[in-house]
Amino acid sequence: MANKSFEKFMKPEMKGAKKKEAIRQEKRKAKAEARAAGEEARRKKWEQQRGINTDERNERTDNRKDFRKENSRYKSKDSRGNNQPSRNTFQKTNSKASQNFSTQEKDKNIKSETSNQQTEVDVMPLNKFISHSGVCGRREAAAFIKQGLVTVNGDTIFEPGFKVRGNEDVKFKGKRIFIQRNLVYILLNKPKDFITTAKDPQGRKTVIDLIKNATPERVYPVGRLDRNTTGVLLMTNDGELAQKLTHPSFQIKKIYEVKLDKPLVKQDFEAITNGINLEDGFIKADSVAYADAKDKSLVGIEIHSGRNRIVRRLFEHLGYDVKNLDRVLFANLTKKNVERGHWRFLNEKEIRLLKYMNQSFAKKK
């Protein structure tokens, strides 16, 4: 009885859905605080690199706040009931305004310069700027930044999320880079014996050699195909689109035609459908089918994973040797009417479908 009389003063213990929701809210709050702390640290670092005195900036902000507060005290209403400053307002605040006049003018100049810069290019992370300049994809750009290969206004930057406005002197390996304005999209039907990279230190043939006369813009391949893998390969200088098409979260559909050294038996067919544990984790094909009813060594496989050599490793794990591997579809792109070793530009409809991530070529969840 004694305990019941104090129950109304005790905090009831949450259970079930309420308890889970409370835990979620705590996690969100912790993430928000960590994000805010990171933004503040990056802002301070940005100001320090550009020689901005934080104390002076805070003092100017306080002066502006005091000036607005002083003005608000002397507001009166006109005959229509609208707020208007009285005649005494300017007399009482004249001395304060004269002291802050120069500071306000400086602030206006700073704001106008900032607005002009932002109209040129919106503020963006450094790795995004590099990808939009046509050097490489966003993830590769982040790796280059961490290696110290990128400088901004002469300072070496090691943080991929470092904010830039586009008017800075950004250099990659000592060469200044600029954002690409003319976006190019090329579909290549890749042949064998070509490396999917912009340059090869060993001097081997690359896919860039196949399209060197296609455009003066610097383009790069989206994703990778093995040297002996053929088929659909997208080339572009659109870094944002390339990042979306290669990121695992978008689960872009890919279909391969696989020629094996022997027929695929039913047991292994079901194993690929149900999923297999490889050395780097579990992998499951979206669908598998025999491409030719009379030849069961010719298999079609649909998969969304972008792991390295995933299709070859999947069949090699089951004891098969892949003789030929041809990618027949990537996103909504096929090699129809494009001969091996040839290329074509994407049409407007294809580009629109890619940019808006049409669900017809993404993995169904």
Per-residue pLDDT of 200-237, as tens digits, reads: 888 889 999 999 888 888 888 998 898 899 999 999 98
In the set 107, 200, 226, 286, the catalytic residue is 226
* C-alpha separations of 169 from 69, 91, 164, 173 in Å: 41, 48, 10, 13
Q: Work out the average pLDDT over 300-325.
A: 90
Residue 149: what are its φ and ψ, rounded to 5°? -95, 0
In DSSP notation, 71-131 reads HHHTEEE-TTS-EEE-HHHHHHHHHHHHHHHHHHHHHHHHHHHHHHHHHHS--EEHHHHHH
- pLDDT: is 249 or 129 the higher one? 129
User: Judging by DSSP bridges, how do beta strands 322-330 and 229-236 pair with one another?
Assistant: parallel
Element (H, E) at 24: helix 16-49
Distance between CA 147 and CA 143 in Å, rounded? 6
Please give the average per-residue pLDDT across 171-186, as a whole number: 84
CATH 3.30.2350.10 residue ranges of the chain are: 254-330
Q: What pLDDT is recorded for position 111?
A: 47
Q: Note the pLDDT of residue 358.
A: 55
At 131-158, the pLDDT tens digits run: 777 677 788 889 999 999 999 998 999 9
The predicted pLDDT at position 18 comes to 76
Is residue 134 within 8 Å of residue 179, measured between CB atoms? Answer: no
From the list 306, 324, 317, the residue with the least C-alpha distance to 268 is: 317
Query: Which one is predicted more confidently, 101 or 19?
Result: 19
b (16+ CB within 10 A) / e for 81-97? eeeeeeeebeeebeeee
Write down the pTM of the prediction: 0.54
226 part of the active site: yes
Residues of the chain with CATH 3.30.70.580: 180-250+338-347
Which one-letter DSSP state was computed for residue 361? Answer: G
C-beta separation of 322 from 314 below 8 A: no
Q: Which CATH class is domain 124-176?
A: alpha beta
2.40.50.40, 3.40.50.300, 3.30.70.580, 3.60.10.10: CATH of 180-250+338-347: 3.30.70.580
DSSP one-letter code for 182: S
Q: List every span in the chain annotated with CATH 3.10.290.10.
A: 124-176
pLDDT at 97: 46
Among 3.30.450.20, 3.20.20.20, 3.30.2350.10, 3.40.50.720, name the CATH number for the domain at 254-330: 3.30.2350.10
Return the H-helix or E-strand segment holding 230.
strand 229-236
